[in-house]
């Protein structure tokens, strides 16, 4: 049987949630080394779908080098603004003319592990023009099977933005794993469930120790500590004294700098996490941090905290080279002009000495600053301590 | 037991705390920091953007105040500020209160809230009996137990 698929990314959401992070649709973000859209396509292929087309509201995505990472066999159609559903309808018609018998339309949207074989069988058994997949609570999963010959039903479905069927049909209840992927918390939940084997997503990488997956060319400093379960993506870099713990996911080309603790978090691709930070219960990347416990998204413009290296290899290389050449002059400058830090004295000597604050009263100190009427400095000095 | 009579300065922080604003803010609060034993509360309810420079200024304020035997407390943290303080591990250096009022009130209480939490009421007396010189001071001015420790 000729079964083909339409993968739809965009077209608004029924629930009104923003299904994107930092302007990037969640469908394009990576989960354990592969974009979600790619994982959905792989699942469809496993069930015998012979061709698929990705229809997106955005131009061919450049984020995270995604265009190079999506399956080359999958045609990409950029829908013009306001013509998303029209494009889907046109592509459906092309499939019908090309000899397809059934077309599966999947909006991502929710991530659902549907048994497509059972879905198709259900569709054929009930002889419906359109079959909708629903979860155990009866909510739509935005997955539909359409007879290629029933163009009017397909047109009606797409024109109603997958919200309404032309004719009443018996829905297919999919009992498998479902994640709505509305927010960053859902993305984190999907990765966490994958690490805990609650869904069928498998990390792309080698399991170097039980529960620790490392993808190709990832660098982990020997003084860094990784606690299972964890995933370290391709070309990522975990520097010295960093701690990766509690089901943390570091996606590809991410960098965790020295001494940073990443706990129960997802670091998105091409994200630099600065040195000495505590990243907890968060999804961090795209110059923002979504804190899942506080339920707040914070934009972080400071590159020392959360940065985003260039996606382009040449730009990254140029930046690294410039940083390397700037390092030596900067250190020389610091050596000559930086303020001298006094070494802390021995503790036993310090205990015997009088505290600096007691040596000169604040009123006599040259740097005591201007006196303010609402905060007179001469009053408190008279009785500095109770015993005096 | 009577509390300290020294004034408490409450300063509301600006919405943005990047390099420039942080410098301006530091200049603005410097007279208060340089007074003797300053008691200062920073109200962070309006803060929406705070970066490393903003955090640095908080630490600089704290350092100056501690040198002068005063205390700096933070109040009414906006979610954004709370996230950045947690991220940079600086939140644990400050006493943080839900409201400015609570922070101001904490200066006048005999024991800081942290101590009260660990030593419920009956233990206060036992604790003060163990080391009376730490807790019992002058009527107006008492030594802080946490600092003495």
Q: What is the CATH number of the domain that holds A35?
A: 3.90.550.10
| Tokens coding A53 | 């087309």
Q: Is residue A190 part of a domain?
A: no
Residue A174 · residue A119 · CB < 8 Å: yes
Chain A contacts to B (CB-CB under 8 A): 276-280, 289, 291, 294, 296, 298-302, 304-305, 356-357, 361-363, 367-372, 374-375, 377, 379-381, 383-387
Task: Say which residues have a Cβ less than 8 Å from residue B117's Cβ, sequence separation at least 6.
Answer: none
| The dihedral formed by the CA atoms of B64, B67, B71 and B72, expressed in degrees to the nearest 10 | 20
Q: In this structure, are B95 and B45 located in the same domain?
A: yes
Higher-confidence residue of A381 and B97: namely B97
Q: Which residues of A248-264 are buried (b: 16+ CB within 10 A; e: fewer)?
A: bbbbbbbbbbebbbbbb
Q: Is residue B19 part of a domain?
A: yes
Nearest to B34 among A289, A368, A379 (CB): A368
Q: Is residue A321 part of a domain?
A: no
Residue B53: closest C-alpha in chain A? A302
Q: Is residue A322 part of a domain?
A: no
Rounded to whole angstroms, how far apart are CA atoms A274 and A257? Answer: 5
Residue A294: closest C-alpha in chain B? B79
Instruction: Look up tokens 């506080």; give the residue.
Output: A294
Q: In this structure, are A8 and A82 located in the same domain?
A: yes
Q: Is residue B148 part of a domain?
A: no
Q: Cis peptide leading into B29, omega within 30 of 0?
A: no
CB contact under 8 A, A298 and B35: no
B118 min Cα distance to partner chain A (Å): 25
Domain assignment of residue B131, given as a range: 110-142
Q: In this structure, are B27 and B52 located in the same domain?
A: yes
Q: In this structure, are B99 and B115 located in the same domain?
A: no
**Tens of each residue's pLDDT in chain A, 388 residues:** 899 999 999 876 554 555 788 888 899 999 999 999 999 999 999 999 989 999 988 776 666 666 666 666 788 888 887 889 999 999 999 999 999 999 999 999 899 999 999 999 999 999 889 999 999 999 999 999 999 999 999 999 999 988 888 888 889 999 899 999 999 999 999 999 999 999 999 999 999 999 999 999 999 999 999 999 999 999 999 999 999 999 999 999 999 999 999 999 999 999 999 999 999 999 999 889 999 999 999 999 888 899 988 777 787 788 888 888 888 888 888 888 877 666 555 656 655 666 555 555 544 445 544 544 554 444 444 444 444 4
Q: Is residue A188 part of a domain?
A: no
Task: Say which residues have a Cβ less than 8 Å from residue A370's Cβ, sequence separation at least 6.
Answer: B31
Residues of A in contact with B34 (CB under 8 A): 362, 367-369, 377
Mean pLDDT across B59-88? 94
**ipTM score:** 0.77
Q: In this structure, are A35 and A168 located in the same domain?
A: yes
Q: In this structure, are B14 and B70 located in the same domain?
A: yes
Nearest Cα residue to A278 out of B122, B56, B90: B90
Residue A137 has a CB neighbour count (10 Å cut-off) of: 7
Q: In this structure, are B60 and B84 located in the same domain?
A: yes
Q: In this structure, are B100 and B130 located in the same domain?
A: no
Number of domains in chain A: 3
Residue A310 has a CB neighbour count (10 Å cut-off) of: 13
Q: In this structure, are A232 and A299 located in the same domain?
A: yes
Rounded to whole angstroms, how far apart are CA atoms A98 and B74? Answer: 67
Q: In this structure, are B114 and B49 located in the same domain?
A: no
Q: Is residue A237 part of a domain?
A: yes
Mean pLDDT across B93-117? 78
Rounded to whole angstroms, how far apart are CA atoms A146 and B16? Answer: 53
Number of domains in chain B: 2
Q: Is residue A244 part of a domain?
A: yes
Residues of B in contact with A380 (CB under 8 A): 6, 35-37
Q: In this structure, are B22 and B39 located in the same domain?
A: yes
Highest mean pLDDT among A8-12, A25-29, B56-60, B121-125: B56-60
| CA triple B5-B11-B16, angle to 5 deg | 165
Q: In this structure, are B41 and B97 located in the same domain?
A: yes
Q: In this structure, are B70 and B138 located in the same domain?
A: no
Residues of B in contact with A298 (CB under 8 A): 79-80, 83-84
A321 min Cα distance to partner chain B (Å): 25
CB contact under 8 A, B82 and A367: no
Q: In this structure, are B120 and B80 located in the same domain?
A: no
pTM: 0.79
Q: What's the pLDDT score for residue B1?
A: 41
Edge-to-edge strand order for the sheet containing A206-209?
A206-209, A212-214, A230-232, A248-250, A266-267, A282-285, A288-291, A296-299
Q: In this structure, are A133 and A81 located in the same domain?
A: yes
Q: In this structure, are A113 and A39 located in the same domain?
A: yes
Q: In this structure, are A253 and A361 located in the same domain?
A: no
Beta bridge partners of residue A237, listed in sequence order: A219, A255
Q: Is residue B87 part of a domain?
A: yes
The CATH number assigned to the domain holding A224 equals 2.160.10
Residues of A in contact with B140 (CB under 8 A): 383, 386
Q: In this structure, are A209 and A145 located in the same domain?
A: no
Rounded to whole angstroms, how far apart are CA atoms B51 and B63? Answer: 19
Domain assignment of residue A233, given as a range: 203-307
Q: In this structure, are A353 and A277 located in the same domain?
A: no
Q: Is residue B149 part of a domain?
A: no
Q: Is residue B34 part of a domain?
A: yes
Nearest to B88 among A277, A356, A387 (CB): A277
Q: Is residue B49 part of a domain?
A: yes
Which residue, of A179, A214, A236, is where some domain finishes?
A: A179
B59 min Cα distance to partner chain A (Å): 15
For chains A and B, CB pairs below 8 A equal: 104
CB contact under 8 A, B84 and A384: no
Residues of A in contact with B89 (CB under 8 A): 276-278
Q: In this structure, are A172 and A220 located in the same domain?
A: no
């Amino acid at each position: 049987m000729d079964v083909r698929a339409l993968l739809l990314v965009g077209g608004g959401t029924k629930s009104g949630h923003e299904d994107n992070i930092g302007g990037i649709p969640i469908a394009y973000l990576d989960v354990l080394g592969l974009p979600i859209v790619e994982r959905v396509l792989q699942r469809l292929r496993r069930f015998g779908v012979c061709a698929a087309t990705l229809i997106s509201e955005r131009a061919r995505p450049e984020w995270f080098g995604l265009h190079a990472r999506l399956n080359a066999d999958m045609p990409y159609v950029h829908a013009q603004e306001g013509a998303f559903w029209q494009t889907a309808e046109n592509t459906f018609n092309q499939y019908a003319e090309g000899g397809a018998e059934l077309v599966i339309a999947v909006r991502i949207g929710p991530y659902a592990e549907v048994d497509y074989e059972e879905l198709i069988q259900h569709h054929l058994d009930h002889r419906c023009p359109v079959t909708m997949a629903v979860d155990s609570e009866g909510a739509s999963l935005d997955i539909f099977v359409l007879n290629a010959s029933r163009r009017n039903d397909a047109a009606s479905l797409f024109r109603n933005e997958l919200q309404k069927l032309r004719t009443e049909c018996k829905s297919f209840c999919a009992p498998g794993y479902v994640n709505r992927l509305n927010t960053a918390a859902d993305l984190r939940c999907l990765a966490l469930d994958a690490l805990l084997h609650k869904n069928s997503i498998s990390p792309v990488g080698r399991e170097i120790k039980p529960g620790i997956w490392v993808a190709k060319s990832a660098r982990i400093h020997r003084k860094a500590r990784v606690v299972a379960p964890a995933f370290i993506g391709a070309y990522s870099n975990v520097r010295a004294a960093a701690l990766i713990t509690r089901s943390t996911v570091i996606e590809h080309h991410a960098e965790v700098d020295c001494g940073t603790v990443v706990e129960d978090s997802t670091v998105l691709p091409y994200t630099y996490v600065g040195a000495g930070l505590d990243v907890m219960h968060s999804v961090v990347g795209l110059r923002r941090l979504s804190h899942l416990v506080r339920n707040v998204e914070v934009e972080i413009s400071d590159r020392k905290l959360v940065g985003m290296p260039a996606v382009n290899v040449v730009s990254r290389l140029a930046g690294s080279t410039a940083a390397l050449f700037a390092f030596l002059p900067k250190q020389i400058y610091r050596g000559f002009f930086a303020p001298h830090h006094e070494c802390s004295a021995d503790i036993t000597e310090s205990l015997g000495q009088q505290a600096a604050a007691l040596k000169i009263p604040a009123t006599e100190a040259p740097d005591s600053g201007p006196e303010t009427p609402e905060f007179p400095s001469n009053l408190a000095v008279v009785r500095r301590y109770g015993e005096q | 037991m009577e509390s300290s009579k020294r004034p408490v300065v409450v300063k509301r922080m600006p919405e943005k705390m990047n390099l420039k604003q942080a410098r301006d803010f530091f200049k603005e609060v410097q007279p208060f920091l340089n007074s003797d034993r300053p008691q200062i509360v920073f109200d962070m309810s309006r803060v929406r953007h705070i970066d490393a420079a903003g955090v640095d200024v908080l630490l600089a304020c704290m350092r100056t105040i501690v040198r002068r035997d005063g205390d700096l407390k933070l109040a009414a943290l906006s979610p954004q500020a709370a996230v950045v303080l947690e991220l940079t591990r600086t939140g644990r250096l400050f006493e943080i209160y839900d409201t400015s009022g609570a922070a101001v009130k904490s200066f006048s209480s005999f024991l800081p809230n942290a101590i009260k939490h660990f030593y419920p009421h009956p233990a206060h007396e036992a604790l003060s009996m163990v080391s009376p010189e730490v807790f019992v001071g002058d009527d107006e001015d008492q030594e802080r137990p946490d600092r003495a420790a």
